[in-house]
Amino acid sequence: MGLRRVVAALGLALPLAGPASATADETPLRWTELGPGVWEATAGATERLTLLGAAAEPPRTEALRSISAAPFPFGPDEAAARIAGGKVALRFPLALEEEIYGLGVDFKSLRRTGSAVRLHVDHWGGVPGRTHAPVPLYISSRGYGVLVDSARYVDFYVGTAVRLQARQKPPVVDRTTGGKAWSAQPRSDSVEALVPAPGVRVLVFGGPTPLDAVRRYNLWSGGGALPPKWGLGFMTRTPTSYSAADALAEVAEFRRRGIPLDMLGLEPGWHDHAYPCSFEWDRGRFPDPAGFLAGLKASHVRANLWFNPYVSPTAPLHARLLPYAGSHLVWNGIVPDYSLEEARTVFAEHLLRKVVSLSPSVGGFKVDEVDGYDRWLWPDLAVFPSGHDAEQLRQTYGLLVQRLLFDMFRRANRRTLGQVRGTNAGASPFPFVIYNDNYAFDEYIAAVANSAFAGVLWSPEVRSGDAQDMLRRVQAVCFSPLALFNGWATSSKLWTHAAVADDIRAAIQLRLRLLPYWYTAFAQYHYAGTPVVRAMPLVSGFELRPSRESGRLAEVLDQYMVGDALLVAPIAPGAKGRTVALPAGKWFDFYTGRLVGEGHTVVELTPPLSQMPLLVRDGSLVPLVGGRQWAPSPDEVLPLEVRHYGLGPATMELYDDDGETFDYQRGEHSWTRLEVTRDGEGRWRGTVRPDPNGKAWRYRDVAWRFMTPP
Amino acid sequence: MGLRRVVAALGLALPLAGPASATADETPLRWTELGPGVWEATAGATERLTLLGAAAEPPRTEALRSISAAPFPFGPDEAAARIAGGKVALRFPLALEEEIYGLGVDFKSLRRTGSAVRLHVDHWGGVPGRTHAPVPLYISSRGYGVLVDSARYVDFYVGTAVRLQARQKPPVVDRTTGGKAWSAQPRSDSVEALVPAPGVRVLVFGGPTPLDAVRRYNLWSGGGALPPKWGLGFMTRTPTSYSAADALAEVAEFRRRGIPLDMLGLEPGWHDHAYPCSFEWDRGRFPDPAGFLAGLKASHVRANLWFNPYVSPTAPLHARLLPYAGSHLVWNGIVPDYSLEEARTVFAEHLLRKVVSLSPSVGGFKVDEVDGYDRWLWPDLAVFPSGHDAEQLRQTYGLLVQRLLFDMFRRANRRTLGQVRGTNAGASPFPFVIYNDNYAFDEYIAAVANSAFAGVLWSPEVRSGDAQDMLRRVQAVCFSPLALFNGWATSSKLWTHAAVADDIRAAIQLRLRLLPYWYTAFAQYHYAGTPVVRAMPLVSGFELRPSRESGRLAEVLDQYMVGDALLVAPIAPGAKGRTVALPAGKWFDFYTGRLVGEGHTVVELTPPLSQMPLLVRDGSLVPLVGGRQWAPSPDEVLPLEVRHYGLGPATMELYDDDGETFDYQRGEHSWTRLEVTRDGEGRWRGTVRPDPNGKAWRYRDVAWRFMTPP
């Protein structure tokens, strides 16, 4: 630098070129097509443990072929990698008007453009990137997705840092005189990512639409989860110190009050030691586990059992898992290294023997604390017997526990639906719904919507509150992937507030009546990768764009679609009404069939307290069954009501299977075509076209209801 | 693992031993004494750039000898390191009742015990560890300090994660039945740290008291900053679009109203381009910079000039610094690699030529945005011509800019006082005060206190508010290291609210009157390492301990001592009064001299709005000068008032020097002993013992005031 110092001391200008070291060592990523519209590139020496590798479900390559072909979204040299200091820096192109979504389930925002996040499995605590589902996948408004398949804390910079060597730079504006022309965040032409690993694999998912990119990601991850039918019913969780008798009495109370119930959650008290856990029944509260579970079965209710996966030194299981323990404890319990197949086998075998094999009424588990605060879980300097480090275990722990539970139930040919508090990329096929302790209504709704960009399912919480609060939360949770009341730490019940008890019951009954609709939405998730819940930027015809100037219309976080027909617009506790931003076309009221508004407008809705706004897309069908208290069993055949909404003709492919086993994977399922067209005299006419492969559905006596007045 | 799988499948227990890999590769740290009570250990291959290396001030080894000897605080094998995956894991012992402070200036808490933090230069945004001063130094209640001298994002786990192999483990309690015996955070026996680098140097500072450990840290860093006397006066910052004429009119208004003023802050508008900066005077607003600065000089006011260190492409300086630019821009400006001496030289030479050399009234700079959000500054994947990476530059950037400015002024034998928004370990000698945009009163006070554990200075902000808000904030800021009003983005003035204008003036006048006291407190910081502001856990006789059960008395964040005598207890805007927790001994009211209370009690104070509670330790002296509008010049000799408080005799070593140059480093300074004892008849008598080295002080006509009634 001697010359430079002399030149500088003389005040001379050097040529206007950036330092050679800045980007000269970048190498363009080279892409290989792995499947239809799915491309792979690697940089450096990839690691043994990745997110998709931890989830380990095979891609659904065949299903990918049914999506319209999409070209590779970048130019040949537009994406590049640089390896230095044991880390990989990645760069992807970003166009000026492009918006980026995803990069983990955030509670405050769908958009990621303009943000810098470090993805890290954690409780949501307001720090972007630290979330229960820090999935390193982003979805572009231009219709493609990028997954950085690393089990590391990956940093993403989404249009934030302009490179010295960028071809297009934002305007240079003086802040003192520039007024609004000056920007605190000049927009860059790149999405950049830093992977703290010697190498990494990147996947690109083509479109052509953003929804198609999501579908490709979900299908490449193995297709979306298909829960059992009973998993689409209602769940209640019992107070932690409840005994078997208490729990059965609670079920009886639901039945007595006519509130549907399919799942009963047992909290820490089923263990004889919890936090850390023993995975042994407490013989005081549960003297006869098999008898208790038989009682649930007789009531058509499945048990869901809480645990955190840290094993108490008081438990017989402790000695068997100790050889696989990491160097640090969580609540005094060992942290088994579930990246080791042996550890997964020991744990699954124990759960099978002590719990799952006791009765078919064991429906699943609630996997707690795999997301916890850094001050609760193992430190990043912990070591594990597999040789994977603490960071990798942190990023995959929830995935690995889901995998072992899913595998265990699948081997028994019993479907499961569970809850989990921490997950990551590759989780699409796992039938687990994320939850947490946050209780902010608006953030819950935003998270439900945002989960669409992450290949995960999310449910809000209902615990306690005043009458209106409870009702509004129940209405919202019944239009989320898992409808539940979480009574583990409260004396509140769904019937605590008499004034709203009927409305609460009605909201849950509607959930059950819509079971055919929900089940088909999940089948679309499983077979086609289409998310059940769709954030507005994934909805065709939704064109409200962020306005950088006014801040108005900036994001629509508080509404989303469920399936192809229903636009869900929860009303927050305390609010009298709300606005709804309508996508293209006409939208109709679910309850009355009347026109609510036209696309690209914002309508104001003030429904009665008993109703949450539900809008139906023009030319849609919504199938319902009659009112009932639990999901149908495989041998039940039910009358079907099909509602038609709007002014246009409609078709729907209604899915069905036995609802309980994995036999659907061997072809035991049906897609029945429902169709409404006008007859020669202009009257609506509904037709049912059975599955072309001759597979049966479990409905009969189709009643068509044409909801929209002519 | 084949055997293990077989064993597991059979349900047999393996031997109760942890995995050999967990800690077998730990190596005890080996300690070398570098200076009196300062020990060093290294692990692995240390990096070129460290925090103390970036700050680069030599240790004050001689001064360290004056602290009582302290033994090395750990047992021989109690601290250990493990190197794996290119990172160093460190482990230090932690006793059951030990409390840990420090690890960066937090706004919410002094205590670190039970927390996990990643230290990262950033705006304070509520995330522990992300702060303007993430100094990786901790101070133990047992009287020692540990510095992890790494320019990396270091993770600390302070008693959070119990190791499987720990000798002492917390009790195992069932949460369902254990009640309060169950802990969400079982206490571990270690402080652990993860340094993402191949090697690291660790320093241990002995006590015997926690304050002694802080003193050793400050002295090892080069001793605390000694500002010019005018730096202890009052500063006002002007609106950003002010012209030279506007600024001089503002000064005249202060003089007209009798509000003391020593420093005038010029905001972005002095540049002809800002955000990024040009470092060229705007010839519209400042047509004659030298004339403007001469006008300030005539008014006894110093200029302080704002910048952020990112250079605009519109600026002549741009071409000269471009060879040293990093790969990414900040607000379109280049980010010079100030770890390179050449870059520091170019920048300092420019500032000297364009600004500092114009007039002795240029007092310093305000260094903004060296702390900014990740979405504003360069990404962690940026590269720099020195080869230091983006993380290292982030952790040291504020240090490096302080160093180049301090060096520049020191070479001119002119003292400076500046403001800075991001700093780190080693900054003790730099005469810069940290600030930010947070405006929470309680958090500001907590940060002022917490800065004592980090070797930094912090000032709250006063910007705008209602009458009481402005007054309370001015009262508080006048008892912080830098007393200033920040009017850069408001039309509010200190005289906006007529109802409190006199009280605001009085608060600032008191600041000026106490100048001899403040100056001696800073001299203690400089020569003995004793922090000017002392958080309560550093105050001798303060024994309120955190009560884990009740949460009461948990922390005392809202009061602190300034110097040896004054206990400062700011009252928050809107509050009528407050409680003060008293250390051992008797405490007296500063204004009246009357007894307020005895040690180890909590007193409730409701002073008039015009007063902020100031308590004086029994047997203390507080020296004051008469009311004045600006700090004295080197040739002024002032009458001195010395107030005695309490029932006991008192002594004080009063410091003095010219207040403007670095001649004090060549011995041109004095320590004058003030002493109050009782004479033969029990009456107080004050004596002055001149500096034994014959150096002069700049006071005369000492008037003794015995404040406490007999």
Residue B120, pLDDT > 70, answer yes
DSSP string, B636-684: --EEEEEEEESSS-EEEEEEEE-SSSSGGGGT-EEEEEEEEEE-TTS-E
Q: Do A172 and B349 touch (CB under 8 A)?
A: no
Q: Which residues of A touch B170 (CB under 8 A)?
A: 332
* Backbone CA torsion sign across B376, B379, B382, B385: positive
What CA–CA distance (Å, rounded) separates A182 from B163?
52
Best CA proximity match to B84, nearest among B230, B197, B175: B197
What CA–CA distance (Å, rounded) separates A483 from A478?
5
CA of A462: how far to CAs of A133, A366, A489, B436, in Å?
21, 16, 11, 39
State residue A92 phi and psi, 5-degree precision.
-125, 150
CA distance, residue A334 to nearest chain B CA (Å):
7
Residue B62 — pLDDT band, cuts 50, 70, 90? very high
The overall average pLDDT reported for chain A is 94
State residue B55 phi and psi, 5-degree precision.
-70, -40
pLDDT score at A273: 97
Contact A264, A484 (CB under 8 A): no
Of A241, A329, A349, the CB nearest to B162: A329
Domain ranges of chain A: 3-217, 533-618, 621-706
Best CA proximity match to B158, nearest among B196, B119, B114: B114
**Orientation of helix A515-528 relative to helix A498-513, angle to 10°:** 50
What CA–CA distance (Å, rounded) separates A499 from A501?
6
pLDDT score at B551: 47
Q: What is the pLDDT of residues A484-499, one digit of tens each?
A: 999 999 999 999 999 9
DSSP string, A366-395: EE-SSS--TTTS--TT-B-TTS-BHHHHHH
Q: Provide the token pair at B611.
A: 């007063």
pLDDT score at A291: 98
Strand A614-617 with A560-562, pairing = unpaired
For residue B605, the one-letter residue type is L
CA of A179: how far to CAs of A170, A546, B276, in Å?
16, 21, 15
Q: Do B1 and A312 touch (CB under 8 A)?
A: no
Exposed e or buried b per residue across A464-485, where buried means at least 16 C-beta atoms within 10 angstroms of its C-beta: bbebbbbbbbbbbbbbbbbbbb
- CATH (one of 2.60.40.10, 3.40.50.300, 2.60.40.3880, 2.60.40.1760) for B3-217: 2.60.40.1760
Residue of chain A with shortest Cα separation from B335: A164
Exposed e or buried b per residue across A673-698, where buried means at least 16 C-beta atoms within 10 angstroms of its C-beta: ebbbeeeeeeebebeeeebeeebebb
Beta-bridge mates of residue B145: B139, B205
Residue A554, pLDDT > 90, answer no
The overall average pLDDT reported for chain B is 94
pLDDT score at A168: 87
SS3 call for B192: strand
pLDDT score at A395: 98
Contact B534, B560 (CB under 8 A): yes
Alpha helices in B148-257 (DSSP H): 175-178, 210-220, 244-257
The residue-averaged pLDDT of A367-385 equals 96
CATH architecture of the region B533-618: Sandwich (2.60)
pLDDT score at B554: 67
Contact B701, B640 (CB under 8 A): yes
What CA–CA distance (Å, rounded) separates B676 from B687?
6
Strand A302-307 with A100-102, pairing = unpaired
Residue B553, pLDDT > 80, answer no
Q: Which residues of B touch A22 (CB under 8 A)?
A: 326-327, 383
Contact A234, A261 (CB under 8 A): yes
Residue A549, pLDDT > 90, answer no
CA of A503: how far to CAs of A77, A208, A254, A482, A632, in Å?
58, 42, 15, 19, 23
Q: What is the pLDDT of residues B664-698, one digit of tens each?
A: 999 999 999 999 999 999 999 999 999 999 999 99
**CB-hemisphere CA count at 13 Å for A176?**
24
Residue A5 — pLDDT band, cuts 50, 70, 90? very low
Residue B179, pLDDT > 60, answer yes
Residue A216, pLDDT > 60, answer yes
* Backbone CA torsion sign across A6, A11, A17, A23: positive
CA distance, residue B555 to nearest chain A CA (Å):
20
Name the strand (E) or helix (H) holding B498: helix B498-513
Residue B273 — pLDDT band, cuts 50, 70, 90? very high
Contacts of B125 (CB under 8 A, 6+ apart): B373
Q: Which residues of B touch A165 (CB under 8 A)?
A: 327
Least confident stretch, A4-18, B130-144, B221-235: A4-18
CA distance, residue B477 to nearest chain A CA (Å):
28
Contacts of B3 (CB under 8 A, 6+ apart): none
Q: What is the pLDDT of residues B336-349, one digit of tens each?
A: 999 999 999 999 99
Residue B550, pLDDT > 80, answer no
Q: Do A328 and B164 touch (CB under 8 A)?
A: yes
Q: What is the length of chain A?
A: 710
Residue B7, pLDDT > 60, answer no
Best CA proximity match to A262, nearest among A292, A291, A300: A300
Of B269, B276, B346, the CB nearest to A8: B346
Longest Cα separation, chain A:
93
pLDDT score at B17: 35
Q: Is this complex scored with an ipTM above 0.90?
A: yes
Contact A111, A120 (CB under 8 A): no
Of B240, B314, B340, the CB nearest to A172: B314
pLDDT score at A544: 61
Exposed e or buried b per residue across A539-568, where buried means at least 16 C-beta atoms within 10 angstroms of its C-beta: beebebebeeeeeeeebbbbbbbbbbbbbb
Name the strand (E) or helix (H) holding B595: strand B595-598
CA distance, residue B629 to nearest chain A CA (Å):
31
What CA–CA distance (Å, rounded) separates A542 from A110?
14
Q: What is the pLDDT of residues B349-385, one digit of tens each?
A: 999 999 999 999 999 999 999 998 999 999 999 999 9
Residue A600 — pLDDT band, cuts 50, 70, 90? confident
- The reply to whether B3-217 and B533-618 are identical in fold is yes
Count the neighbouring beta carbons within 10 Å of the beta carbon of residue B132: 28
Contact B652, B564 (CB under 8 A): yes
Q: What is the pLDDT of residues B276-293, one digit of tens each?
A: 999 999 999 999 999 999
pLDDT score at B24: 58
Exposed e or buried b per residue across B524-546, where buried means at least 16 C-beta atoms within 10 angstroms of its C-beta: bbbbbbbbbbbbbbbbeebebeb
pLDDT score at B377: 96
Residue A12, pLDDT > 50, answer no
Of B164, B194, B282, the CB nearest to A379: B194
pLDDT score at B710: 86
DSSP helix, strand, coil percent of chain A (3-state; round to 5): 25, 25, 50
Residue B13, pLDDT > 70, answer no
What CA–CA distance (Å, rounded) separates A503 from B604?
52
Best CA proximity match to A232, nearest among A266, A194, A261: A261
Place of tokens 């942290």: A335
Q: Which residues of A touch B373 (CB under 8 A)?
A: 116
The residue-averaged pLDDT of B68-86 equals 94
Strand B234-237 with A263-266, pairing = unpaired
pLDDT score at A14: 34
Alpha helices in B383-466 (DSSP H): 390-411, 441-450
What CA–CA distance (Å, rounded) separates B450 from B103?
10
What CA–CA distance (Å, rounded) separates A438 from B234?
45
Q: What is the pLDDT of residues A68-127, one digit of tens each?
A: 999 999 998 899 999 999 999 999 999 999 999 999 999 999 999 999 999 999 998 888
Burial of B661 (0-12, 13-18, 19+ CB in 10 A): middle
The residue-averaged pLDDT of A179-189 equals 93
Mutate to test the interface with B, among A172, A318, A349, A437 (most CBs of B within 10 A): A172
Q: What is the pLDDT of residues B443-452, one digit of tens each?
A: 999 999 999 9
The residue-averaged pLDDT of B325-331 equals 97
Contact B616, B590 (CB under 8 A): yes
What CA–CA distance (Å, rounded) separates B489 from B291?
25
Contacts of A549 (CB under 8 A, 6+ apart): A180
Mutate to test the interface with A, among B130, B272, B376, B381 (most CBs of A within 10 A): B381
Q: Which residues of A touch B164 (CB under 8 A)?
A: 325-329, 334
Q: What is the pLDDT of residues A254-305, one digit of tens each?
A: 999 999 999 999 999 999 999 999 999 999 999 999 999 999 999 999 999 9
Best CA proximity match to B123, nearest among B136, B105, B100, B111: B105
The residue-averaged pLDDT of A391-410 equals 98
pLDDT score at A125: 86
